[in-house]
DNA sequence: TTGTAAGCGTTATCAG
DNA sequence: CTGATAACGCTTACAA
């Protein structure tokens, strides 16, 4: 016991390869090899090392391994605002997809943070395998800074034109054009639109798509209001719209605002879908909840996440490859509000 | 240019302290000191180093710094299932709170993962500052394994009795007892309950709280069904309940299932709250959405996350301190369904 | 105040 | 197949 204290100066030193080597009666390198796939090592010896490691509770220190030159297996995900339902669902899928390929996602939530840039700066001190940007309103300067550090960047939701940045992006205009067409075919004529905040490319692209469909029918939207992508803001924007004009069709830049608008319509006694069609965008999980049952444009999240991981793997395999843009096709999901 | 190629063998080597030192005409240690708060270094020199660093795009490698003995500033968050709305909100707050104190959360989502244990094993190779467990059904063996590695563990949602594990936990029974009492006071007598899956301590504690209130009034629940915490399962469970019995009060183990039950009641033409009171638990953000407006027991998420971070900081400050349990008080949120 | 040198725990290289 | 040895990039005594 006394001896114990003498031998272990630091109280809770992590078990190292050295310790295991001594316990198993082999060299440090043998221990390393025992844990390296396809390294030359006598099977019996490998067995012995593994046993000793298990007994001592050893596991190779990922920090040291990462330092030594290989990959850190750390991937940062920068999220614009995790309080946004769609972003949250994307992050959830992304986390799952990354976990599955043994990449460990570090999350940074711009929504809850006062100084995003500072946080990014701190996280960039880790030699990340990659950075995933999930934000419609990310300062492109930050992305460019990452490429300077030679960290692969995957931008999701907004296409950044940079030779080192891969992008995955949904065909926004196509989706909302189809949604508008659906309502036109149903005989709707008085369209309203609830946009997202200024500066979000997805919102403006979606608005453009609607405009295009309307223009082809010789129409234009009757009224447009903007929210901030939250349910509450959708509720408020819808109320303003209902004050201003008598609509029979309402398209929204995302599902959350559409759900808010649906609440506002019901509160006002408007019959949806008999008197007013409401269509969202994204197909978040709440859209299919009983009591909401929102008709919407599906922005397929799982495909999205898989695509991000695919681009990531391709980039890691060949860091010099030209940058890529993966477009995701949308499709209409007809439920009860159109 | 040719020289460039000769000097830089690896194509995109990260800028190191050495590079900065050479550029600024100082020693490596001076560079290190320039970035260390409160280290002795001539102000003019520090300026010079910082300038050179900025120009070269240098930032201290966090891996190397962490290896060197200090903290890694990495914290793993293990989530039982990120597709669960409450867990997701907790994670969001946790991420924000950790980002704010410069700890970088690595997420592992048990819900999306086939082999949770394996993933945990991989992540434990990083010398984590701490591990946060957010899961009602986590295998306690995993937690114990972490304490063996001397990694502080904070368990959230279930109290683990271990000298090295800190806990934060909401007073579940208290909350649902109050909810039941509210409905008793309103004259309700025929109570139903939608429980969570077996093995979730929160669900059973909440059920106990309700039982206690009913027992005090000489009552017992009329019917109980179980779901899996999802909206869909709440919908289905409520339908089964409505088949079995005529209820005037329905308590649910969480908000998501209550929202499902609300949908089922409406689909059946039951007037909520005139003929049936429905009360949830947690107060997730959707509970206050227009069109849902759910009366519920608030399980204050922000306090929760702050508490976790508080325990974490205390533990890091004194790794030998006795383990702690922080109980979170609930309160009723009266909205439109009671 | 500064530079030198010794780790931190790995993995990769290179003789044997 | 295996054991030394040299990186990896940083911090921090220690000496100047």
Asked if the C-beta of A125 comes within 8 angstroms of chain B's C-beta atoms, the answer is yes
Chain centre distance of CA B274: 36
Q: How far apart are CA B57 and CA B54, in angstroms?
A: 5
Q: How far apart are CA B319 and CA B152, in angstroms?
A: 8
pLDDT at residue A189 is higher than 70: yes
Residues in chain B: 338
Note whether B259 contacts A109, CB cutoff 8 Å: no
Q: Which of A72, A106, A267 sits opposite B105 (nearest CB)?
A: A106
Task: Kindly tell me the burial class for residue B228, based on how many C-beta atoms sit within 10 Å of its own C-beta (0-12, 13-18, 19 or more).
Answer: middle
To the nearest whole Å, the CA of B113 is away from the closest chain A CA by 7
Token pair 């994307």 in the structure block, residue: A90
Q: Could you give the residue ranges of the DSSP H alpha helices within chain B?
A: 2-7, 17-24, 28-34, 43-56, 62-67, 85-100, 116-123, 140-148, 172-185, 201-216, 231-244, 255-267, 301-317
What are the backbone angles phi and psi of residue B156, rounded to the nearest 5°? -120, 125
- The H or E element spanning position A140 is helix A140-148
CB pairs under 8 A between A and B: 168
Q: How far apart are CA B317 and CA A294, in angstroms?
A: 50
Q: Which of A105, A112, A149 sits opposite B99 (nearest CB)?
A: A112
pLDDT tens figures, A30-49? 998 898 888 788 888 888 89
Q: How far apart are CA B197 and CA B258, in angstroms?
A: 15
Contact A210, A179 (CB under 8 A): yes
Contact B41, B30 (CB under 8 A): yes
Contacts of B263 in chain A (CB under 8 A): 289-291
To the nearest whole Å, the CA of A218 is away from the closest chain B CA by 35
The set of residues, in sequence order, having a beta carbon less than 8 Å from that of B288 and lying 6+ positions away, is: B294, B335
Q: How far apart are CA B275 and CA B187, in angstroms?
A: 11
Asked if the C-beta of A101 comes within 8 angstroms of chain B's C-beta atoms, the answer is no
B33 Cβ nearer than 7 Å to chain D strand: yes
* Domain B74-170+301-328 belongs in CATH node 3.40.50.2300: yes
Torsion angle of the four alpha carbons B78, B315, A53, A33, in this order, in degrees rounded to the nearest 10: 70
Q: How far apart are CA B35 and CA A254, in angstroms?
A: 44
Q: Which nucleotide is nearest to B127 (CA to C1')?
A: C9
CA of A49 to C1' of C5 (A): 33
Tell me the domain boundaries of chain B. 3-60, 74-170+301-328, 172-298
A41 Cβ nearer than 7 Å to chain D strand: yes
pLDDT tens figures, B102-132? 999 999 998 877 777 888 889 999 999 999 9
The set of residues, in sequence order, having a beta carbon less than 8 Å from that of B70 and lying 6+ positions away, is: none
Q: How far apart are CA A178 and CA A175, in angstroms?
A: 5
Q: Report residue B10 as tokens.
A: 């690896």
pLDDT at residue A68 is higher than 90: no
List Cα–Cα distances, B325 to B47, B91, B128, B282, B307, in angstroms: 47, 19, 22, 20, 10
CA of A29 to C1' of C15 (A): 15
Q: Report residue B270 as tokens.
A: 């039951």
Q: How far apart are CA A131 and CA A126, in angstroms?
A: 11
Asked if the C-beta of B18 comes within 8 angstroms of chain A's C-beta atoms, the answer is no
Asked if the C-beta of A140 comes within 8 angstroms of chain B's C-beta atoms, the answer is no
Are A74-170+301-328 and A172-298 the same fold in CATH? yes
B27 Cβ nearer than 7 Å to chain D strand: no
Chain B: residue whose CA lies nearest to A235? B290
Q: Furthest-apart CA pair in chain B: how many Å?
A: 91
Cα–Cα nearest to A64, from B148, B68, B60, B28: B68
Neighbours of A65 (CB within 10 A): 20
Q: How far apart are CA B277 and CA B337, in angstroms?
A: 6
To the nearest whole Å, the CA of A220 is away from the closest chain B CA by 29
CATH number of A172-298: 3.40.50.2300
Q: Which nucleotide is nearest to A39 (CA to C1')?
A: D1
Q: What is the pLDDT of residue A253?
A: 97
- The string of DSSP letters for A291-310 reads TT--EEEE--HHHHHHHHHH
pLDDT in 10s for each residue of chain B, 338 residues: 333 333 333 457 889 998 899 888 898 889 989 988 887 888 888 888 989 998 988 989 999 999 887 789 999 999 988 888 898 999 999 999 999 999 999 999 988 777 778 888 899 999 999 999 987 666 777 787 888 888 999 998 888 888 889 999 999 999 999 999 999 999 999 999 999 998 888 999 999 999 999 999 999 999 999 999 999 999 999 999 999 999 999 999 999 999 999 999 999 999 999 999 999 999 999 999 888 999 999 999 999 999 999 999 999 988 888 999 999 999 999 999 99
Contacts of A126 in chain B (CB under 8 A): 61-63, 104
Neighbours of B303 (CB within 10 A): 17
Q: Which nucleotide is nearest to A35 (CA to C1')?
A: C11
Cα–Cα nearest to A75, from A53, A59, A57, A91: A91
Asked if the C-beta of B336 comes within 8 angstroms of chain A's C-beta atoms, the answer is no
Q: How far apart are CA B305 and CA A112, in angstroms?
A: 12
CA of B259 to C1' of D13 (A): 62
Strand-strand pairing, A295-298 and A331-333: antiparallel
Strand C neighbours among B 254-283, CB < 7 A:
none
CA of A36 to C1' of C11 (A): 9
Contact B57, B15 (CB under 8 A): yes
* pTM for this predicted structure: 0.90
Q: What is the pLDDT of residue A5?
A: 36
Neighbours of A111 (CB within 10 A): 17
* Domain A3-60 belongs in CATH node 1.10.260.40: yes
Token pair 């000769």 in the structure block, residue: B6
pLDDT at residue A131 is higher than 70: yes
Angle, CA A285 vertex, CA A282 and CA A287 arms, to 5°: 70
CA of B29 to C1' of D15 (A): 14
Q: What is the pLDDT of residue B137?
A: 62
The set of residues, in sequence order, having a beta carbon less than 8 Å from that of B8 and lying 6+ positions away, is: none
Torsion angle of the four alpha carbons B5, B9, B10, B12, in this order, in degrees rounded to the nearest 10: -30
To the nearest whole Å, the CA of A240 is away from the closest chain B CA by 16
Strand C neighbours among B 53-112, CB < 7 A:
64, 67-69
Q: How far apart are CA B128 and CA B149, in angstroms?
A: 10
Q: Report residue A49 as tokens.
A: 């090392």
Q: How far apart are CA B327 and CA B11, in angstroms?
A: 54
DSSP β-bridge partners for residue A251: A193, A279
**What is the 8-class DSSP label of residue B254?**
S
Note whether A111 contacts B122, CB cutoff 8 Å: no
- The string of DSSP letters for B16-38 reads -HHHHHHHHTS-HHHHHHHTSTT
What are the backbone angles phi and psi of residue B18, rounded to the nearest 5°? -55, -50
Contacts of B66 in chain A (CB under 8 A): 63
Distance spanning both ends of chain B, measured CA to CA: 76
pLDDT tens figures, B218-262? 999 999 999 999 999 999 999 999 999 999 999 999 999 999 999
């Amino acid at each position: 016991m006394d001896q114990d204290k003498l031998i272990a100066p630091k109280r809770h030193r992590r078990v190292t390869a050295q310790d295991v080597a001594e316990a198993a009666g082999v060299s440090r390198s043998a221990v390393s090899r025992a844990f390296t796939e396809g390294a030359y090592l006598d099977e019996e010896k490998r067995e012995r090392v593994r046993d000793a490691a298990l007994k001592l509770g050893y596991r190779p220190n990922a920090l040291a391994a990462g330092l030594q030159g290989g990959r850190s297996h750390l991937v940062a995900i920068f999220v614009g605002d995790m309080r946004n339902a769609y972003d949250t669902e994307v992050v959830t899928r992304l986390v799952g997809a990354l976990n599955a390929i043994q990449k460990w996602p570090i999350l940074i939530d711009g929504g809850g943070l006062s100084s995003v840039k500072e946080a990014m700066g701190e996280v960039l001190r880790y030699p990340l395998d990659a950075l995933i940007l999930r934000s419609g309103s990310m300062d492109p300067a930050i992305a460019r800074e990452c490429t300077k550090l030679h960290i692969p960047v995957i931008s999701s939701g907004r296409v950044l034109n940079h030779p080192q940045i891969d992008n995955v992006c949904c065909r926004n205009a196509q989706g909302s054009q189809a949604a508008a067409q659906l309502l036109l075919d149903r005989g709707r004529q008085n369209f309203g639109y609830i946009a997202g905040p200024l500066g979000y490319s997805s919102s403006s692209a979606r608005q453009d798509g609607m405009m295009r469909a309307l223009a082809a029918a010789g129409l234009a939207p009757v009224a447009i209001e903007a929210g901030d992508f939250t349910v509450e803001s959708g509720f408020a924007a819808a109320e303003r719209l209902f004050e201003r004009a008598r609509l029979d069709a309402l398209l929204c830049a995302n599902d959350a605002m559409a759900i808010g608008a649906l609440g506002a319509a019901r509160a006002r006694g408007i019959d949806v879908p008999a008197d007013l069609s409401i269509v969202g965008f994204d197909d978040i999980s709440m859209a299919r909840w009983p009591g909401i049952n929102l008709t919407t444009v599906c922005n397929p999240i799982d495909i999205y996440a898989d695509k991000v991981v695919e681009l990531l793997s391709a980039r890691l395999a060949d860091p010099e490859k030209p940058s890529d843009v993966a477009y995701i096709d949308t499709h209409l999901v007809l439920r009860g509000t159109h």
